[in-house]
Structure 1
Amino acid sequence: MQQPANGCTQHNGATDDDHIPSSSAQQNGTDIAPHSTTINGEISPKRLDRTDYEIVRLIGQHLKTIGLNRTAEVLIQESGCRLDHPAAAKFRQHVMDGDWNKADNDLNELKSLLEGSSNSLSQMKFLLLEQKYLEYLEDGRVLDALHVLRNELTPLQHNTARVHELSSYMMCSEREE
């Protein structure tokens, strides 16, 4: 037998004795993993510590962002991780749909999940109302935008400089401005 360039006579999956793949040797392209136990054909989720859980969650979110949805689903199934809390997913969907009343109600559900002070909730509410205001302006609903600015954003007394900046957008006539 001719010696390979790396100096090893053993082929992948073969033993040194007979160069025939043994039943216990791993073949190229196969996976022997500790999480590969199955229950009724389903892969049972692996136990992860908090750090690994968060890393897997971020990877899954990124996979979905770049359009690798099936890959993300397999990752979710194998790891047992959720990419988002159900209340957060519902909140995101309501914001994407422009359903501002439901999104505002969802914020109250998320309140218990916030680890910081009430300032976090206030900031989230401000950002939600800012988006609402900007979308009303973009849609040409100037009076609705003015209502949001006066009656919803200003009373929050959060980020006053930004509220002043937002009010200047009322003077813009074109969407690009």
Structure 2
Amino acid sequence: MQQTNIRQIATELVQLLGPTDWAIGGSFLLQSYGIEPQARDLDLVCTLERFEAFKTLLSQYAHAVPVSLHPIYRSKGFARFSKNGLVIELMAGIQVLKDDGLQGFEFQPENTSWQQGLPLMQLSDWLELYQLFERPKRVAQLQQYLDDAHHTIKTDT
């Protein structure tokens, strides 16, 4: 999947879903900051209130892909789509089953950062999600980037 295709689809999604109540995370977010060389898919996080409406819109835009129950992911809303070979995942009410019960992530649409016409999640939110999803390599990768960025900002002031 070429970069322009992913960006093109992301741009089309802004037209489809509108400018509020959702944002892009995952590998596309990391690529936007130069952390990851290539985005593999589009991870969309939205408010629980808008999940069903967005799911309906996406099902008219892309091919719905069946999702099987995951052993620990227990999000209140999750749907997977495919568009020109690109996987698009829509998530809302994100929850993960841990030893001490369900742990959740609350998406805050007001934290969305618009860059090049696309709504991106905060890197710190995605760090929290990678910790929740128990993805240690991603956590270390993102923590390193945030630490480096923090030091750069500190020394410049």
Structure in which a larger fraction of residues adopt helix: 1
- Identify which of structures 1 and 2 has the higher relative contact order when contacts are C-alpha pairs closer than 8 Å and 6+ apart: 2
What TM-score, normalized to structure 2? 0.28
Structure in which a larger fraction of residues adopt strand: 2
What TM-score, normalized to structure 1? 0.26
